[in-house]
Structure 1
Amino acid sequence: MSLTIDQSPPIRNALGFRRRSKATKAPTALSETFSTLTIGLPALIAFALLWEVAPRAGWINALFFPPLSRVLATLWEMIMSGQLGEHIGISLQRAAAGFVLAVVIAVPLGLLMGRYSLFEKASDFLVQTLRNTSQFALLPVFILVLGIGEASKIAITFYAAVFFLLINTIVGVKSADPLLIKAARSMGTSDWNMFKKVIFPSAIPSIVAGARLGVKTSLFSVIAAEMLAAQSGIGYLIQHSSLMLETDRMYAGILTLTIIGLLLNYLLVAGERRATHWHSSADSGPN
């Protein structure tokens, strides 16, 4: 009895890529997220129970650290009244305005700095100097120059996000395949088409990664600005409640910010994977 071994070549699709078998199919972002939440759920429940029991048992002063049930009840009241939604909307609008402005400025500038070494050398020292200056240290400057209105808050969110996008765009441009650039140049491709068809597509994964960091930093920066000089927003809600010793409202605001941060994180991770899916597919192309 002889053993026959199938030595036929692997099945490939019309583009020449190997078909991925079901046994080796990569897990989706949704399944990975669900698995992470399932594993971490016991620790989260234990923390919630400790939060509820500690103030009621007298381990912590309930005036400064109210039980979780009271915080959740206050949170629900604020949701039903519409007050919380108004503060959330204002904070997100400010963060979004600063982030969009950062994208508009940082991505084109990063493409130019990454592509033209002379331009990068001329502007790198200024960029590095500004990048290593904390946005929180400059917050009083923004308020003094731009006032306590919307402009200062948008400026701080812009400053917080722009360097993540700029540096990641530069890195993405420099990681473009030199063989593709050389081939495009040999065919007489113009600089505009080089950017559009070769350099920018290669830089997309790095740009998206920078955007993921920039979005979260923009939100956290606008919260800090609202704590210092604002009459609305999640940061104002937290700070004002703290000063008034309305700690249940304060923790409701903090909990809201935590939930928003978690949702943003998972949405950005899913968006990053979706935006860079073609890049990973190309890396596992025909052998």
Structure 2
Amino acid sequence: MSVATTNQRRRRRIRDANLPYQLATLVVFAAAWEIYARVSGGLLIPSFTETAVATVELLGTAELWRAVYVSNQALVLGFGAAVVIGIPVGILLGRFRLLERYLDVYLNILLITPMAAIIPLLVMSVGFGLASRVILVAVFAIVMVVVNARTGVRQVDPALIEMARSFGASERQIWTRILLPGALPAIMTGIRLGIGRAITGMVIVELLMVSTALGGLILEYRGLFKAPLLYGTIVIILAEAILLISVARWGERKLTRWAETTTARSAK
């Protein structure tokens, strides 16, 4: 049996072993929620069972799926733009320090600026349409993509680059065989973290800028004091986020399997 096969089986056993603990945690959380809601929840905090029933009801309505479709338009376009722009920018910043001197200040601004403060500027410049929602989602996500791509390039051992040059490797070969493969794990991590930020931006822009789609449903159910439907909508948004992050994590494992094998061998 090879070392790689043994490591894969070990990781699979660890993941399988974590599942019962995760289910037990969910059961404890649901029980605590149910007890608290029945004892002192009142009108604004539904019980876990009421929320579960409302979530199932929502999944059977056309209104929810229209809202999901509209919201995910901004999510797909905005996150796609963040990935297409953020990965090359992060790689270039990690490779060329001079370029980083000019752009690092703007990256820091994006890191520390409250994104909600950008919404009035978007409304004044591009209006209330899809374009403003896409831009805000992209701004939310692109920081994580750029920072992790830059970190991935910098984590590549400089000795590997010098050794490649000593053997006559061209700049293109250094990029394709050393820098990009070495930075790939960090890039995938940035994509996974960026998805979470993109979903946050998607909801915030709909809550603060224009009452539409999933954000509009949240505001509607809150105004009508329909707490189970409000919580059910939030549960659906969280479920979508968990699903997308899980897909990104799966892709990260598939594309960076060689990195895990290398780490395991180094540990030995």
| Superposition TM-score tier, normalisation by shorter sequence | 0.7 to 0.9
Question: How does the TM-score come out when normalised to structure 1?
Answer: 0.82
Shift of 1:40: 3.3
**Alpha-carbon spacing, 1:259–1:221, altered in 2? closer, same or farther (3 Å):** same
CA distance in 1, matches of 2:128, 2:237: 22
CA distance in 1, matches of 2:7, 2:101: 50
Matched, 1:26 2:16: no
Bigger Rg over Cα: 1
Which residue of 98, 107, 116 corresponds with 2:87? 107
Equivalent residues of 1:223, 1:233 under 8 A apart: no
Give percent identity, aligned residues only.
27
Query: Which deviates more, 122-131 or 19-28?
Result: 19-28
**Alpha-carbon spacing, 1:237–1:50, altered in 2? closer, same or farther (3 Å):** same
The residue number in structure 2 matching 1:230 is 210
Which residue of 233, 250, 253 corresponds with 1:253? 233
Over the aligned positions, Cα root-mean-square deviation in angstroms equals 2.5
Q: Alignment partner of 1:120: what SS?
A: helix
Query: Which deviates more, 79-88 or 195-204?
Result: 79-88
The residue number in structure 2 matching 1:6 is none
Greater helix share, structure number: 2
Shift of 1:140: 2.3
Shift of 1:162: 0.9
Shift of 1:213: 0.7
Shift of 1:101: 0.5
The residue number in structure 2 matching 1:41 is 23
Mark the runs of 5 or more structure 2 residues left unpaired by the alignment.
none
Shift of 1:95: 1.4
The residue number in structure 2 matching 1:94 is 74
Shift of 1:127: 2.1
In the alignment, residue 10 of structure 2 is paired with which amino acid?
A
Query: Which deviates more, 44-53 or 205-214?
Result: 44-53
The residue number in structure 1 matching 2:41 is 60
CA distance in 2, matches of 1:105, 1:151: 16
Shift of 1:138: 1.5
The residue number in structure 1 matching 2:124 is 144
Matched, 1:51 2:33: yes
CA distance in 2, matches of 1:228, 1:184: 52
Shift of 1:84: 2.0
Q: Alignment partner of 2:11: what SS?
A: coil
Q: Alignment partner of 1:27: what SS?
A: helix
Paired residue total: 267
CA distance in 2, matches of 1:253, 1:24: 37
**Alpha-carbon spacing, 1:192–1:104, altered in 2? closer, same or farther (3 Å):** same
Question: How does the TM-score come out when normalised to structure 2?
Answer: 0.88
